[in-house]
Amino acid sequence: MSVTVRVPAKVNVQLAVGAARPYGFHDLANIFLAVGLYDEVTVTPADALRVTCEGPDADQVPLDTSNLAARAALALAERRGFEPNVHIHIAKDIPVAGGMAGGSADGAGALLACNTLWQTGASRAELLSICAELGSDVPFSLVGGAALGTGRGEKLRTLDVGGTFHWVFAMAGRGLSTPAVFREFDRLGEGTDIPEPVASQEIVEALAKGDADALAASVSNDLQPAALSLFPELADTLAAGRAAGALAAVVSGSGPTTAFLARDKESAAKVAQALETSGTCQKVRAASSPAPGATVL
Ligand code: C5P
């Protein structure tokens, strides 16, 4: 018997970053929006814990216990006193180290899949608390839709989304490490007064109305200067998408994937085509929001 769970990628329509805290994280006001690009995580009983991965970027995915999917299985098994004897297979479509929570998606997916396979009866609250232990973005991967994340990003408040948003994502030829981008954020901000992160009411309202123009006018990412500093060519990708008519162009999370908001499906197709021929990125994908969270298939 196997269980398969489908989990979405995310884009941050707001990523407000506060000063570094002594415990090594930053306070965030983080508005997540799930997008219709998915990984599928399948778990099957096995003699021992094992992870395999398929997909174009599969060679970049660690198959040891540094993989969040393996850590999720271990965390749930440990709480229940089980042996985590399961084969986890990841069919990967979300870019690796791309700023779209691909690793977090696999963590949330494996947790829900193992919980279903093992019939542990864990509550939603317990699953969310395990997600928060696994990583800042993992709870959102479980929940999907749209949410405001505070604390280090893991405390979620669900937000209403009143329409469909059309996105184009440009994937880069290499990844960026999230801790490295946060370190660069700290370096660039040294000696300056970094304000407390505050959720944007404009963005919350734009999501609720399904208003792409209003969302485009307010989209923001405080990590973007740091990502551009480490990966300056991303400026060319952002410019190419803007020139093709994107309403907004922004680095997704800690990057290096860049996200382009389009007015409608036709405009998204135009932006995607322009980016594909621009020579400024490796791969282009169109996807819409919102998308549901981790779902047992
Ligand atoms: O929580 P997660 O493991 O995804 O975080 C990865 C890294 O991103 C952390 O080790 C930290 O360097 C950085 N981070 C941060 N502040 C946050 C979230 C993540 O500095 N709120």
Residue range 73-91, pLDDT digits in tens: 999 999 999 999 999 999 9
Which residues touch 92 (CB under 8 Å, ≥6 apart)? 39, 53, 54, 55, 56, 57, 58, 61, 102, 106
Q: Which pLDDT does position 84 carry in this prediction?
A: 96
Q: Is the pLDDT of residue 150 over 90?
A: yes
Q: Atom 9 (ligand 1): residue with closest C-alpha?
A: 179
Q: Which of 26, 66, 186 to mutate to test the pocket of ligand 1 (most atoms within 8 A of CB)?
A: 26
Residues of the chain with CATH 3.30.70.890: 165-289
Q: Is the pLDDT of residue 24 over 90?
A: no
Q: Which pLDDT does position 32 carry in this prediction?
A: 98
What is the rounded radius of gyration, in angstroms, for the C-alpha atoms of the chain? 18
Q: Measured from the CA of 137, which atom of ligand 1 is nearest?
A: 4
CA atoms of 21 and 19, how far apart (whole Å): 6
The verdict on whether residue 105 carries a ligand-binding annotation is yes
To the question of pTM greater than 0.95 for the whole model, the response is: yes
CA atoms of 56 and 155, how far apart (whole Å): 33
Is residue 182 lining ligand 1, measured as CB closer than 6 Å? Answer: yes
Q: Atom 20 (ligand 1): residue with closest C-alpha?
A: 25
* Percent over 70 (pLDDT), the chain: 100
Q: Mean pLDDT throughout 129-150? A: 98
Is residue 28 lining ligand 1, measured as CB closer than 6 Å? Answer: yes
Q: Which pLDDT does position 22 carry in this prediction?
A: 85
Q: Going by CATH, does the domain composed of 3-159 fall within 3.30.230.10?
A: yes
Q: How many residues does the chain have?
A: 297
CATH topology of domain 165-289: Alpha-Beta Plaits (3.30.70)
* Percent over 90 (pLDDT), the chain: 98
Q: Which pLDDT does position 195 carry in this prediction?
A: 94
Q: Mean pLDDT throughout 184-189? A: 97
Q: Which pLDDT does position 7 carry in this prediction?
A: 98
Query: Which residues participate in catalysis according to the annotation?
Result: 10, 137
Q: Which pLDDT does position 105 carry in this prediction?
A: 98
Q: Mean pLDDT throughout 172-197? A: 95
Is residue 26 lining ligand 1, measured as CB closer than 6 Å? Answer: yes
- Peptide bond before residue 256 is cis, with ω within 30 degrees of 0: yes
Residues of the chain with CATH 3.30.230.10: 3-159
Q: Atom 2 (ligand 1): residue with closest C-alpha?
A: 135
Q: Is the pLDDT of residue 39 over 90?
A: yes
- Peptide bond before residue 225 is cis, with ω within 30 degrees of 0: no
| Reported confidence tier of residue 23, pLDDT bands at 50, 70, 90 | confident
The verdict on whether residue 16 carries a ligand-binding annotation is no
Looking at every residue in the chain, the average pLDDT score rounds to 97
Q: Mean pLDDT throughout 162-182? A: 96
Q: Which pLDDT does position 12 carry in this prediction?
A: 98
Q: Atom 3 (ligand 1): residue with closest C-alpha?
A: 135
Q: Which pLDDT does position 217 carry in this prediction?
A: 98
The verdict on whether residue 255 carries a ligand-binding annotation is no
Q: Which of 193, 179, 102 is nearest to 140 (CA)?
A: 102
Neighbour count for residue 99 (Cβ, 10 Å)? 31
Distance 56 CA to ligand 1 centre (A): 26
Is residue 153 lining ligand 1, measured as CB closer than 6 Å? Answer: yes
Q: What letters, b where the CB count within 10 A reaches 16 and e where it falls short, cover 101-118? A: bbbbbbbbbbbbbbbebb
